[in-house]
Amino acid sequence: MIKVLTEDQMTLQIIKVLKEGKKKEFQAILEELQPYDIARIFEGLPEKHHTRFLLLLDSEQIAELIQEVEKVHQLKILSKLGIEKSGHVMDLMDNDDLASLLEDLSPGKIEELLSGMKQEESKIVQNIMNYPPETAGRIMTNRFVWIPQHYSVRESVEKLKIFAEFSETINYLYVIDNDKKLVGVVSYRDLIINDESEKIQDIMYSRVISVSAYEDQEEVARVIERYDFLAIPVVEKNNELLGIVTVDDIIDVVIKEANEDIEKLSASGKAIDFDTKAHVAAYRRLPWLILLLFIGLVSGTIISGFEETLSKVVALAFFMPMIAGMTGNTGTQSLAVVVRGLITSDTDKGVVTRLIIRELKVGLIIGITCGILISIIAYVWQGNPVLGLVVGSSLVMTLIIGTLAGTIIPLILYKFNIDPAVASGPLITTLNDILSLLIYFGMATMFISKLM
C-alpha cells in the first residue's frame, strides 16, 4: 500500500537481484509496482543492466514497460529484443502508443520493425499512421469491445470474458449493426444491473456522441471534457466504428496543447525540456531571436529618424523604455486572455464584437489611469509640464492601441485558421514597441519648441 522503499533503494535492490539472476525475486519486486514506476526504475538503471532486465520479463511485461519509457529508451529496447521478440511485443502494445513510437522513424526502419508483427496487427498500426498527426484517428485504440445489437446481456458478458485482457480499462461496450455502423453504447454497469436475457438493443443508449477520425485532437479533448466521458468512439464518414479515444490519452493531449500555447506565447522554442541538449535548444530558440533582432533594428531606425528631436531633448530617452515596455506588456496581457479564451469559448460575431469593445474599454481605463500618473511623475521629476503632457498623452494612446493590437491580431489569425498563439508574446511586444515609439516621438516632435 505505502511504498516503504525509496526509488533509490528499490533500484539498488533490483541491481542486486539482476546480478544474481534471480528471476523469481525480480518478478516479486515488480509485482509490487505500477508500470509507470517500473519504467522510472528501468530508466534510472545503468545501461549495462538493461539487457538482463529485459531478459527477465515476458513479452506482455515488456509491452507495458515500453509504453511508459521515453522514446529514446523505447527504440533501444526494441533493437535489443531483435526482430522476432520485438514484433511480439509490438503486437501487445496499444496501437496508438505504437503509432506514436513509429511516427518519427524512417520508412525503412518502420517497415523493418513492422515485419516482425502479426499481419493483422501491423495493418491496424499502419492504418492509424495514415491519419494526419494530432487527429482522433491518430490517438485512437482498437483495444475495446464491440458487440452486435442483437446480442443478449448474457452473450455480451461471455464475449467480454473472452476479451477481458484485450480491452482497455474503460467501462463501455459499443454496439454495432450488421454494417459495422455504431448504433449504441452500454456500460459494464448496465450489464451488471440488467437481467441476463435482456437484448442489448433494448437496454443500450442509442444517442451516442462520436467523433470523426479526422477531428483535431484538441476538439476531441473539448468534447470529452464537456461531457465528462471516459472514452469516445471514433467513426468513419459513414458512421462505421473504427476505434475509441480514451480519457488518459486526452489528459496527455490537454497538457501537450497547454505547453504548446506557452511555448508559442513565450516563443521559447518547440519542445525544449530539461533533457534537451544545449545546441539543440539554442538552435530552436535562435530563429525567433534573430527575427526579433531585425525587428529591434526597425525600432532603432525609427529613433534615428527622430535623431534631431532626441538630440535637442535628451530627457525624452529616459521615458522610452517605460512607454515601450508598458505597451508591450498590455498587449501580451490581452493576447493571453484571447488565446486561452478561444480554447474554451465558442466564437460567433457577437462574442468577438463584445470582446473587442471590452478590451477597448479596458485600454481606456488602463491608459487614462497610467497616463495621469506618469504625467505627474514626469512633471515633478523633470520640472517641465509640457514634457509631462507629452509623456502622459503618449502613454494613453499607446496603451489603448497596444491592448487592441493584442486582442485583434490573434482574432484575425484565428479567423484565417492560423493558431493565434503564433502571434506570440514577443511579436506583439515588438510590434507595440514600434507603434509606441512612433507615437511618442511624433508627439514630442510636434511640441518640440515648447519642450526645449
Per CB under 8 A, contacts with its own copies among 81-140 are none
Q: Which is nearer to its own copies, 215 or 433 (CB)?
A: 433
Select from 84, 103, 248, 418 the one that contacts its own copies (CB under 8 A). Answer: 248
Which residue type is seen at 93?
Answer: M
Q: Shortest approach of its own copies to residue 345 CB, angstroms? A: 5
Judged by CB under 8 A, does residue 215 bind its own copies? no
Select from 258, 376, 418, 446 the one that contacts its own copies (CB under 8 A). Answer: 258
Torsion of CA 440, 446, 449, 450, to 10 degrees: -70
Which residue type is seen at 187?
Answer: S
At 431, list the grid cell: 510590434
Q: Shortest approach of its own copies to residue 273 CB, angstroms? A: 5
> In the window 338-397, what residues touch its own copies (CB under 8 A)?
339-341, 343-345, 351, 354-355, 358-359, 361-362, 365-366, 369-370, 373-374, 377
Select from 4, 6, 46, 192 the one that contacts its own copies (CB under 8 A). Answer: 192
Select from 124, 244, 437, 443 the one that contacts its own copies (CB under 8 A). Answer: 437
The sheet that has 182-187: what strands, in order across it? 146-148, 172-176, 182-187
- Of 75, 1, 79, 6, nearest to 41 by C-alpha is 6
Q: Shortest approach of its own copies to residue 392 CB, angstroms? A: 11
DSSP 230: S
Q: Shortest approach of its own copies to residue 150 CB, angstroms? A: 19
Q: d(Cα 18, Cα 31) in Å, to the nearest integer?
A: 15
Q: d(Cα 90, Cα 59) in Å, to the nearest integer?
A: 9
Select from 51, 115, 130, 259 the one that contacts its own copies (CB under 8 A). Answer: 259
> In the window 136-165, what residues touch its own copies (CB under 8 A)?
157, 160-161, 164
The sheet that has 231-235: what strands, in order across it? 211-212, 231-235, 241-246
Select from 304, 415, 422, 446 the one that contacts its own copies (CB under 8 A). Answer: 304
Judged by CB under 8 A, does residue 245 bind its own copies? no
DSSP-assigned states of every residue in 410-451: HHHHHHTT--GGGS-HHHHHHHHHHHHHHHHHHHHHHTHHHH
DSSP-assigned states of every residue in 371-425: HHHHHHHHHHHH--HHHHHHHHHHHHHHHHHHHHHHHHHHHHHHHTT--GGGS-H
> In the window 14-73, what residues touch its own copies (CB under 8 A)?
32, 34-36
* CA dist list (Å): 208 to 127, 171, 184: 24, 15, 6
Q: Which is nearer to its own copies, 83 or 298 (CB)?
A: 298
Q: Shortest approach of its own copies to residue 254 CB, angstroms? A: 5
Q: Which is nearer to its own copies, 83 or 315 (CB)?
A: 315
Select from 28, 72, 255, 418 the one that contacts its own copies (CB under 8 A). Answer: 255
Q: How many residues bind its own copies (CB under 8 A)?
A: 124
Judged by CB under 8 A, does residue 430 bind its own copies? yes
Select from 105, 193, 422, 446 the one that contacts its own copies (CB under 8 A). Answer: 193
Q: Which is nearer to its own copies, 39 or 90 (CB)?
A: 39
> In the window 317-346, what residues touch its own copies (CB under 8 A)?
317-326, 328-330, 332-337, 339-341, 343-345
* 268 to 297: interface string for its own copies, x by CB under 8 A: xx--xxx-xxxx-xx--xx-xxx-xx--xx
Which residues 6+ apart lie within 8 Å of 30 measured at CB?
38, 57, 61
Select from 71, 118, 150, 189 the one that contacts its own copies (CB under 8 A). Answer: 189
Decide: 315 and 382 in contact? Cβ < 8 Å.
yes
Select from 19, 71, 226, 415 the one that contacts its own copies (CB under 8 A). Answer: 226
Decide: 235 and 137 in contact? Cβ < 8 Å.
no
